[in-house]
């Protein structure tokens, strides 16, 4: 039987390969369903010029591609570092049911990553965040949103 | 001169095309630098089975690909809906400097999306969130994190 530690070791191995290749930071992840790995990934921010290519996001995208589904209900994710807000959001949208992580948000901060500050941003009211946000064309955008409800057979996600 | 409204109208147009094709929800986005669109996208969660393919994420990925850079410093994003936590995280990691949005988080909730609940999740202590998270193999993961610091010429992001 495969133990949780084995899945985490695979995530660490993926992270190590990625960072040694210059792909990005020390972040790897695997998605597991019913004791079997269904998706893998590691950070590729530097290698692919993609700031969204964190370990968890790449593993989720891989798993969804393999399962031909935007839902990872019934899956767990093993990730070398506690998820940042972007990755936690991705985990929630993917409907993943459990997270195993190696080092903590504050450990990521200690090696130079912004996860702690970004969690703080999420907790501030929108008008006090680092990146200013301005409402624009709300009426027209609301028309779009309402038109969405009229689309027949739309898939809920 | 291109006005902010024109960029938002382009985002709305992208969103409308996407939702009418069955690609996903009513979400489109454009990334703008110095008054010029450098990246575009719309929600593709359903069409590509990718729960991370929100309008903002696809536009950021497109812009970064076009600019061959993981940093969108000096850029603005125009998005039909106020960003969810995943997309706000992506905007922060991409170093985008301003957000223009059409409809609000609560408007997205009104048409069936979970953004409000997901923001609430970010604000809870980790042990009270919807998805349980468990620490595993911290020592080994910390070794990985510390080894990262020894990599010569690593790119900070």
Q: Which neighbouring-strand residues pair with B77?
A: B31, B99
How many CB atoms are closer than 10 A to CB A114? 16
Show residues of chain A in contact with B64, CB under 8 Å.
Answer: 49-51
Query: Which two three-digit tokens encode residue A67?
Result: 């399962």
> Which residues on chain B are in Cβ contact (under 8 Å) with A82?
126, 133, 135
B150 CB within 8 Å of a chain A CB: no
Interchain proximity A144–B49, CB inside 8 Å: no
Q: How far apart are CA A122 and CA A45, in angstroms?
A: 22
**Model confidence over A77-108: pLDDT tens digits?**
999 999 999 999 999 999 999 999 999 999 99
| Segment 55-84 of chain A within 8 Å of chain B by CB | 57, 60-61, 64-65, 67-72, 78, 80-84
| Residues of chain A found within 8 Å of residue B42, distances taken between Cβ atoms | none
Range A127-138 average pLDDT = 96
> CA-CA distance, A62 to A26, in Å (whole number)?
18
Least CB–CB distance from A69: residue in B25, B49, B134: B49
- What confidence score (pLDDT) does residue B153 get? 85
Residue A103 · residue B96 · CB < 8 Å: no
What ipTM score was computed for the predicted complex, to two decimals? Answer: 0.97
Q: Which residue has the tokens 């610091």?
A: B149
pLDDT band at A2 (very low <50, low <70, confident <90, very high): confident
Average confidence (pLDDT) over A51-59: 98
User: How far is it, in rounded angstroms, from Cα A116 to Cα A58?
Assistant: 21
| Whole-number pLDDT of residue B147 | 97
pLDDT single digits (tens) A33-47: 999 999 999 999 999
In chain A, residues with a C-beta closer than 8 Å to the C-beta of B63 are none
CB within 8 Å: B131 and A51: no
Contacts of B103 (CB under 8 A, 6+ apart): A138, A141, A142, A144, A145, B80, B81, B82
Asked if B51 lies within 8 A of A68 by C-beta distance, the reply is no
Question: Which residues of A does the annotation mark as catalytic?
Answer: 56
φ, ψ at B74 (rounded to 5°): 85, 0
Nearest to A87 by CA among B41, B93, B28: B93
Rg (chain B; Cα; Å): 18
CA torsion sign, B92 to B95 to B100 to B102? Answer: negative
For A64-77, what is each residue's pLDDT tens digit?
999 999 999 999 99
Query: B131 and chain A: CB distance < 8 Å anywhere?
Result: yes
Q: Please report, rounded to a whole number, the percentage of residues in chain A having pLDDT higher than 70.
A: 99
What is the mean pLDDT of the segment spanning B139-155?
Answer: 95
Residue A116 near chain B (CB below 8 Å): no
Size of interface A-B (CB pairs under 8 A): 304
- Mention every residue, 6+ apart, whose C-beta is less than 8 A from residue A53: A24, A43, A44, A45, A47
Residue A71 is predicted with a pLDDT of 98
A153: left (phi over 0), alpha (psi -120 to 50) or beta: left
Give the span between the Cα atoms of A4 and A47, in whole angstroms: 29
Q: How far is CA A33 from the centre of its chain?
A: 17
């Amino acid at each position: 039987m495969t133990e949780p530690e084995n899945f985490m070791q695979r995530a660490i191995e993926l992270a190590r390969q990625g960072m040694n290749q210059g792909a990005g930071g020390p972040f790897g992840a695997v998605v597991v369903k019913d004791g079997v790995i269904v998706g893998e990934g590691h950070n590729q921010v530097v290698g692919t010029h993609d700031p969204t290519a964190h370990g968890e996001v790449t593993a989720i995208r891989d798993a969804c591609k393999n399962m031909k589904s935007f839902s990872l209900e019934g899956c767990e994710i093993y990730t070398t570092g506690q998820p940042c807000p972007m990755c936690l959001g991705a985990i929630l949208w993917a409907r993943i049911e459990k997270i195993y992580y190696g080092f903590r948000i504050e450990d990521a901060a200690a090696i130079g990553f912004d996860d702690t500050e970004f969690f703080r941003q999420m907790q501030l009211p929108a008008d006090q965040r680092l990146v200013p946000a301005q409402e624009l064309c709300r009426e027209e955008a609301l028309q779009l949103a309402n038109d969405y409800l009229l689309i027949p057979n739309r898939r809920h996600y």
